[in-house]
Structure 1
Amino acid sequence: MSVIVEFQIPSADFELGRILHVEGVTSIELETLVPIGEATVPLFWIHNTTRHSFLENVQRHPAVNDASEVDVFEDRALFTLDWDANHDHVFRAIRETDGQLLSAIGTPDVWEFELRFPNHDALSEFTSHCEDAQVSLEATRVYNPTKPDAGPWYSLSKPQREAITLAVQNGYYDIPRGCTTKELADELEISDQAVTERLRRAIVALVSYTIIPPKTED
C-alpha cells in the first residue's frame, strides 16, 4: 500500500532550496514537474517578491541551465527552471525510491514537501538517503491514503528504528544506564554523533505521532 509523507527541510540543506533562495516575506510554490528526456524541469510560482532580481540570481547559479518567466500576474509570477537535478540529494533520493512529488512550498528558511511512496520500505529508504547526505529532514505527517490515521510509527527510518531498538534492548534508557552511545555506535558501526542524532530524531517522531494530538484548523 502506498504511503504519503509530509516533511520539512531547511532551504540551505538541498540544491534546489539554495538555487531558489528568496528573502523577506515571500514564498515559492512548485506547480508541476515536466520530464524532458532524462531531465526534470519544474514550473513554480513566486509570491510577493521582486521577480527580476530573483530571476537574475537563479540564472547565475552554476547548476542552472536556464530559467525564464512563463506568466506574470499582479501578486505572483510563474517561472520555469532547467537545472541539473543529479546534484540534489533530495530529488535524487525521490527518483531512486520511486517517490512522487505531490507538492512543495519554499520560504527563506524552510521547504515543506508532500511525497507519495509505493510502500513504507521505499519511504524508509528515502529517509536513509537523506540522513546519509546530512539533509535535515523532519517528518510532520505520515499516512496511508485510504487510512489517514494508520501506522504513524512508520515515520521512523530503518536506521532510526534500529538505533532506538538497540538502545532500549541494551538498557541505554535504564537508570543507571546499561550502555553508552559510544557502545551503541561501535555495535552499529557508525559515529557516536550519528547515534545521538538517530535517537533524537526517532524520539521526536515517536512523540509527534503517538502522543501529541494533530493540529486542527480553526
Structure 2
Amino acid sequence: MTIVVDLTLPGGAFPLGTLLDDDPDAHVELERVVPVGDRLLPFFWVSDGSVEHIESMLAEQAEVGEYELLTTAGDQHLYEVRWNSDLDGIVPAIEDNEGAILNGRGVRGRWELRLRFPDHDRLKAFSERCRESGVRFEVNGVYNPHVPSAKDRLTPKQWETMSVAHELGYFEVPRRATLAELADHFGVSEQAVSQRIRRALNTLLSVHQFEPDTR
C-alpha cells in the first residue's frame, strides 16, 4: 500500500543545498510534483535572493548540469534544472526505491520534504540506503495512505478556537475581532485564548502542510 512520509534534513543533504548554506535568508520551494533523477527536469522557486547570487551558487554546485531562469515574479525566481548523471545521496535513494517527491521546501538551512513510496518495504530500503550514504534525516510523520488534515492535527478546542477566530476576522488585516472579544465568546481569559491560538499555530507550522502553491 502507498505510504507517504514527511522528512526534515540538513540543507547540504539535498541538491541546491548551497543556496541555503550560503544565504540564510534564501527560500527554495519545489514544485508540487517533482520528478527526480537525471531523466526529467525539476522546477523550483527561489525567493529572497538576487539572480546573480542564485546563479553563481548554481554554477558552483557539482550536482547541477544545466539550469535556466524561466520567469521572475517580484522577488521569486522560477528555475528549471537538469541534474548531472553522477548525482548521489538522497535523490538516487528516492529514485531507486520508486519514490516520488510530492513537495518540498528549503528554508533556514534545512529541507522539508514529503515523499511517497509504493509500500513500507520501499520506504525501509530508502532509509537503509540513506544511512549507508551518510544522509541523516528526521521523520515528522508517516501516513498510510492519506495525510491528516489540519483539523486532525489539532485538539477539538484548538480547532474550534481557530475556526471561530477566522470566522470573526481575528486574522484579517485590519482585525475585525479582538482577543478580548474571542475571550468573551468562549467565556475564558484572553491568555487562555492566546495560548490556544499559539499552540495551534505551532502544531500546524512545526509539521509543514505542503499546501498547493497559490502563485
Contact map agreement 1:89 1:130 (CA 8 A) in 2: yes
The aligned counterpart of 1:83 is 83
Deviation at 1:109, TM superposition (A): 1.3
The aligned counterpart of 1:179 is none
Deviation at 1:15, TM superposition (A): 4.0
Contact map agreement 2:20 2:27 (CA 8 A) in 1: no
- What is the SS of the residue equivalent to 1:92? helix
The aligned counterpart of 2:6 is 6
* CA displacement, residues 96-121 of structure 1 (integer Å, 9 cap, x when unaligned): 11111101101241100001111111
Q: Does 1:217 align with 2:214?
A: no
* CA displacement, residues 19-75 of structure 1 (integer Å, 9 cap, x when unaligned): 775513221011153689x52321100112112211122123333222121011113
The aligned counterpart of 2:50 is 50
Contact map agreement 2:6 2:139 (CA 8 A) in 1: yes
In structure 1, how many angstroms separate the alpha carbons of the residues matched to 2:13 and 2:140?
17
In structure 1, how many angstroms separate the alpha carbons of the residues matched to 2:134 and 2:10?
11
Task: Give the TM-score normalised by the residue count of structure 2.
Answer: 0.62
In structure 1, how many angstroms separate the alpha carbons of the residues matched to 2:43 and 2:116?
19
Gaps of 5+ in 1: 150-214
- What is the SS of the residue equivalent to 1:125? helix
Please provide the CA RMSD for this pair: 2.9
In structure 2, how many angstroms separate the alpha carbons of the residues matched to 1:136 and 1:20?
17
Contact map agreement 2:35 2:101 (CA 8 A) in 1: no
Contact map agreement 1:6 1:113 (CA 8 A) in 2: yes
Deviation at 1:18, TM superposition (A): 3.7
* CA displacement, residues 120-179 of structure 1 (integer Å, 9 cap, x when unaligned): 111111111111111111110001124859xxxxxxxxxxxxxxxxxxxxxxxxxxxxxx
Contact map agreement 2:42 2:80 (CA 8 A) in 1: yes
Q: How does 1:149-164 map to 2 (within 5 A)?
A: none
- What is the SS of the residue equivalent to 1:41? coil
Gaps of 5+ in 2: 150-201, 206-215
Contact map agreement 2:18 2:61 (CA 8 A) in 1: no
Contact map agreement 1:86 1:92 (CA 8 A) in 2: no
Distance 1:14 1:45, change over 3 A: closer
In structure 1, how many angstroms separate the alpha carbons of the residues matched to 2:121 and 2:100?
15
The aligned counterpart of 1:202 is none
Query: Which has the bigger relative contact order, CA under 8 A and spacing at least 6?
Result: 2
In structure 2, how many angstroms separate the alpha carbons of the residues matched to 1:84 and 1:16?
13
Contact map agreement 1:64 1:83 (CA 8 A) in 2: yes
In structure 2, how many angstroms separate the alpha carbons of the residues matched to 1:25 and 1:17?
13
The aligned counterpart of 2:125 is 125
Contact map agreement 1:39 1:84 (CA 8 A) in 2: no
The aligned counterpart of 2:116 is 116
- What is the SS of the residue equivalent to 2:71? strand
Task: Give the TM-score normalised by the residue count of structure 1.
Answer: 0.62
Deviation at 1:8, TM superposition (A): 0.8
The aligned counterpart of 2:24 is 24
